[in-house]
Structure 1
């Protein structure tokens, strides 16, 4: 009889350990923390996508590099004038929310120094800062 009692006791001990969940979640883990973690991951993904878009990596935009945006000038909330380099030609293009139209082809392409130095605001700000430093 004692043999059957020991087997019964051992069987009930095994059943007790098997019936308990193996991967029980901690008591602190609730729906709010799960949603907060999910939102953090979504925000991180959106931030990384924005960062990659802003970095303008050559591998992402296009491998050949024959089409380049040299300069943009906003003229409205969603309208802008864009200076494009297409091969050896430069073009002024008007971009709106509905369409893109060619404004003009430049007969004499601008040099890269003229295009990159065109920061009138930056020059004026530098002059103002230097002027205020002398006082």
Structure 2
């Protein structure tokens, strides 16, 4: 008959193996399922900005996608758009225009 110490050691080894296997599986799942941005499109992901509860199950949420911001109303029955702010145009793509009303006034 095997001793208690031997059985305990085998059980601990098996437990350590199962924990290590679970950690490896979770690590692989996290890296494989995480959304990746295409080169040059780092802002393509949906980003949570802020939420404000307005009731027990209702919230007003601000999210950002592609530089544009959306104000959403979230309820138990659905999601509705309250407001939308388009993405800001980068300064280097804006053409120089003379001031409105002419020059030299």
What's the TM-score, normalizing by structure 2? 0.43
Computing the radius of gyration from Cα coordinates, the structure with the larger value is 1
What's the TM-score, normalizing by structure 1? 0.36
By percentage of residues, which structure has more strand? 2
